[in-house]
Amino acid sequence: MFRKVLIANRGEIALRINRACQELGVATVAIFSEADRDSLHVRQADEAFCVGPGPAGRSYLNIPNIISTALITRCDAIHPGYGFLAENARFAEICSDHGLTFIGPKPSVIALMGDKATAKRVVSEAGVATTPGSDVLASPEEAQSVARSIGYPVLLKATAGGGGRGMRVVRDAAEMQRAYAGATAEAEASFKDGRLYIEKLIVAPRHIEVQVLGDDFGNLVHLGERDCSVQKPSHQKVIEETPAPNLPARARTALHDMALRASRYVGYTNAGTLEFLVAGDEVYFMEMNTRIQVEHPVTEMVYNIDLVKEQIRIAAGESLGYAQRDLAARGHAIECRINAEDPQNHFAPAAGMVSKVVFPGGPGIRVDTHLYAGATIPPYYDSMVAKVVAFGDTREVAIARMERALRETLIEGVSTTVGLCLDILSTPEFRDGRYDIELLLKEPTPR
Amino acid sequence: MVHRAYIGIGSNLGRRVANVERAFAAIGELGTLLAKSSIYRSDPWGKVDQPWFANAVALLQTALSPRDLLEALQAAEQRLGRTPGERWGPRVIDLDLLLYDELDIDETSLRVPHPHLRERGFVLVPLAQIDARFAALRDALPESEARSVSPLGESDSAMPIRENDSIAERVRALARFLADGDAVRVRITRPDDDIEVALRAAEPIASRREADRAPTKTAAPRVDTIKADLVGIFHASRPAPAEGDTFEGDRELGYIEALGIRTPVHSMGGGRLVSISAIDGTAVEYGQPLFAVAR
């Protein structure tokens, strides 16, 4: 096991990693920006070093200062958390060049799965379904024939594309001629390259992801799925739950199998998440996140496994010590992300001083947060300030506990998304467990 | 009696280029505008984590006396949006009387030629553009100072957006673009719609140009804190600097070793070493005070 780990992150995830290290008897070094000097992760770590000014580009992304801190304090490993440097293959390589273990997958795997197009190609080699589509099209007639075989609606996209230019939604064959001409002309004008290809447009899908864990000895398991379909218009997740409600058994099996198949194919180690679009019982691979996820606690609740500790153990060269057949999920868990932002004002981030904080407790409730009364929320970083997680033997119990917990929650000084989460929990779509990624695009249903 | 005065213009708040244009117009009302330089973009002086400046120089023919002109410029600053009461605070617009005929004035609150004229690229570069007599001074600027000033084009600038960016990432990119640029009109093109937004000047936000705005005539010496700007191990120079040491020019006080590279710590000019907080051979973090130097 490592003697000392540098935590290259801030906020609740830095605290989360610090907790795992403390329980494993591993010393910790926090890094922080000048704006985070009074932050909780700085106080709770064994040592702390300021690595730069407020803007993340000069502090939490300042690779030379972070590596220098790790070397000076004689760390043996760096945990990147999520965001910042977590999926930076170059950073993972630099760590290993300096004799530091990067707690995550191998740099080559980060690089491979970091590029969406490459990742899709690679997993399809492993027999995993990706969004159906075509190569470069020769004519509108060919486009019609491809679209007929994969089914409308489809997206026409420019191969040289970017910024939505040369892209058209085509709903039926009659629209194809005109859309093709328009898209190719636009692509020609924008990129001097009018070539087009087709991709199936998945309408109102669910966004479901699968957690995997792999060690250096070839052991690989999945830890079920998480339904992350409650998303803001910006695709930021708001509420996640596991297991995914009303998921056809065939789709669930396909998700878990595909996640294992793709991970095994690329030789994945450590914790990772494969994101899929699900429409009915059709499942399409979207992308892989080669790191711990924000919403990992819901999986921890139903599997009774500490994923961050597992990450550290695996990186230290230990074996998983269990196989798929040893794992069973129990109960239902839901996470609500509490952001310091104003849902009434297009989710504009709110910075400022938190004057009063009361977090919920009681049976089945877990809160991961770095807030405290008097804490300042700097304007430079992600607006998430807390994660409230509710566990119950059934989904109904978990929802009831979450509603109770959110009503107990009091955060004064900044606007938060607590009210938004309560509103979502009360919609008939959420209560029935029949929602997709368009839930927050619809008119809000009054409570 | 007709006089000629050179006036320096600076803005680092709101729509900077538009502010400079408004300043030209306001200066023109004090006489006849004989020449105006291009608008230059210059890096902030001193603290670097603040917005860039738009700078220019105007040549004015005027009947006003130096003191009347100074007061008229200050009134124009107020009118153009400088916050009253904050003497060294952020500037929507900053007007400096640089030169007035061949006069040499050294009075409280009125010094001509402007005391910093010879050191500042953001003054000398535009000044030399409209008056060739200053070209030699401009060319004598240290390279770093000359490089910090560049002409500001009026051409369209494109905001880079990657195809796979989420809406949130695009909005953030747009916010960065607006914060860093000087756009007055933004056109957003999407497959199904075009949006064009005309922008008005933003409210002043806190920011200051400390080094340049510091009072020059006050009695107490200025004390600069020399801080570590990277994480590493500090090593003092040999012989080790001691409190009370005085030096004429810049002096290397030590170095910070990180990742096998030694980065020198300089006194940033002459002065007297009033305190030493750096300990030889120990780790220092970013922003940690190492020395205090009285100027």
pLDDT of B87: 46
B interface mutation test: which of A72, A95, A440 has the most B CBs within 10 A? A72
Q: Which residues of A touch B51 (CB under 8 A)?
A: none
Instruction: Quote the pLDDT of residue B210.
Output: 38
The alpha carbons of chain A give a radius of gyration, in whole angstroms, of: 23
In tens, the pLDDT along A329-353 reads 999 999 999 999 877 777 788 888 8
Pairing of β A47-52 and β A27-33: parallel
B42, B80 Cβ separation under 8 angstroms: no
A54/B233 Cβ within 8 A: no
What percent of chain A clears pLDDT 70, i.e. is strictly above it?
98
Q: Are residues A287 and A313 in the same domain?
A: yes
Question: A305 lies in a domain?
Answer: yes
Return the structure tokens found at A206.
Answer: 């669910």
Residue B15 region by backbone torsions, left for phi larger than 0, else alpha for psi between -120 and 50, else beta: beta
Going from the C-alpha of A354 to that of each of A53, A98, A111, the distances in angstroms are 22, 40, 39
Return the beta strands (E) in A350-408 as ranges.
352-353, 356-358, 365-369, 376-377, 384-392
A273 and A183 in a common domain: no
Please provide the distance, in angstroms rounded to a whole number, between the alpha carbons at the two ends of chain B: 42
DSSP states of A49-102 as a string? Answer: EEEE-SSGGGTTT-HHHHHHHHHHTT-SEEE--SSTTTT-HHHHHHHHHTT-EE
Q: Which residue of B has its CA nearest to A57?
A: B49
Tokens of A159: 């191969």
Nearest to A335 by CA among A410, A386, A411: A386
CATH topology of domain B3-151: Alpha-Beta Plaits (3.30.70)
- Dump pLDDT digits (tens) for A44-89: 999 999 999 999 999 999 999 999 999 999 999 999 999 999 999 9
Measured between CB atoms, which of A62, A168, A236 is closest to B168?
Answer: A236
Q: Do A302 and A231 belong to one domain? A: yes
Please name the helix (run of DSSP H) or strand (run of DSSP E) that holds residue A333, with its range, or none: strand A332-339
C-alpha Rg value of chain B to the nearest Å: 23
Q: Give me the pLDDT at residue A259, please.
A: 98
- Whether A184 and A236 map to the same domain: the answer is no
Q: How many domains does chain A have?
A: 3
Please tell me whether residues A339 and A372 are part of one structural domain.
yes
Residues belonging to chain A with any Cβ–Cβ distance to chain B shorter than 8 Å? 34, 49-55, 58-59, 62, 64-69, 71-73, 98, 116, 161-165, 167-168, 233-236
Write the DSSP string, A247-309.
--HHHHHHHHHHHHHHHHHHT--EEEEEEEEEETTEEEEEEEE-S--TTHHHHHHHHT--HHH
Do A229 and A215 fall within a single domain? yes
pLDDT number for residue B62? 87
In whole angstroms, what separates CA B88 from the centre of its chain? 13
Q: Is a pLDDT exceeding 90 seen at residue A379? A: no
A289 and A421 both lie in a single domain: yes
Q: Which two tokens stand for residue B159?
A: 């905001």
* Interchain CB distance below 8 Å, A50 and B286: yes
Whole-number pLDDT of residue A133:
85
Instruction: Note whether A68 contacts B287, CB cutoff 8 Å.
Output: no
Which chain B residue shows the shortest CA-CA distance from A183?
A: B191
Residue B224 · residue B47 · CB < 8 Å: no
Q: How far is B179 from chain A (nearest CA, A)?
A: 13
Give A249 to chain B, closest Cα distance, Å: 31
The CATH number for A368's domain is 3.30.470.20
Determine whether B104 is exposed, middle or buried from the number of CB atoms within 10 Å of its CB (0-12, 13-18, 19+). Answer: exposed
First-to-last CA distance in chain A?
A: 51
DSSP 8-state class, residue A361: -
- CATH number for the B220-294 domain, one of 2.40.50.100, 2.40.160.40, 1.10.287.620, 3.40.50.150? 2.40.50.100
Instruction: Count CA within 13 A, CB hemisphere, residue B118.
Output: 6
The residue type of A154 is V
CA distances from A53 to A35, B258, B282 (A): 7, 18, 21
The residue ranking higher by pLDDT, A233 or A338, is: A338
Q: Is A196 found in the same domain as A63?
A: no
**Closest chain A residue by Cα to residue B47:** A53
CB contact under 8 A, B288 and A236: no
Q: Is B211 a residue whose pLDDT tops 60? A: no
Sort A443 into a burial class: Cβ within 10 Å, 0-12 / 13-18 / 19+.
exposed
Report the largest interatomic distance among the alpha carbons of chain A, rounded to a whole angstrom.
Answer: 67
CB-CB: which of A49, A167, A235 is closest to B285? A49
Contact: B49, A34; criterion CB under 8 Å: no
Per CB-CB distance under 8 Å, the chain B contacts of A34 are: 286-287
pLDDT in tens, B56-83: 999 998 888 999 999 999 888 888 876 5
Domains of chain B by residue range: 3-151, 155-202, 220-294
At residue A218, the 3 state secondary structure works out as coil
For an interface test with A, which of B163, B176, B255 has the most A Cβ atoms less than 10 Å from its Cβ?
Answer: B163
Residue B176 has pLDDT above 90, yes or no: no
**What single DSSP character describes residue A326?**
G
Same domain, A268 and A216: yes
CATH number where A157 lies: 3.30.1490.20
Q: End of a domain among A200, A216, A245?
A: A200
Q: Which domain holds residue A162?
A: 140-200
A34 and A176 co-located in one domain = no
Average pLDDT of the segment spanning A255-275? 97
Sort out which chain A residues have CB atoms less than 8 A from B180's CB and list them.
none
Residues A281, A358: one domain? Answer: yes
Whether residue A384 sits in one domain with residue A247 = yes
Identify the CA nearest to A193 among candidates A226, A166, A225, A156: A166
- What is the ipTM, given to two decimal places? 0.84
Q: Helix crossing, A307-315 with A11-24: angle to 10°?
A: 60
Residue type, A379: P
Q: What pLDDT, on the 0 to 100 scale, is given for residue B205?
A: 35
**In the predicted structure, residue A444 carries a pLDDT above the cut 90:** no
Q: Is the peptide bond before A379 cis (omega within 30 degrees of 0)?
A: no
Q: Please choose, from the candidates A14, A16, A13, A49, the residue with its C-alpha nearest in 3D space to the C-alpha of residue A33.
A: A49
Tell me, yes or no, whether A107 lies in a domain.
Answer: no
Residue pLDDT, tens place only, B241-287: 998 899 988 899 999 999 999 999 999 889 999 888 888 898 999 99
**What b/e sequence results for A161-170 when a residue is b if at least 16 CB atoms lie within 10 Å of its CB, and e otherwise?**
bbbbbbbbeb
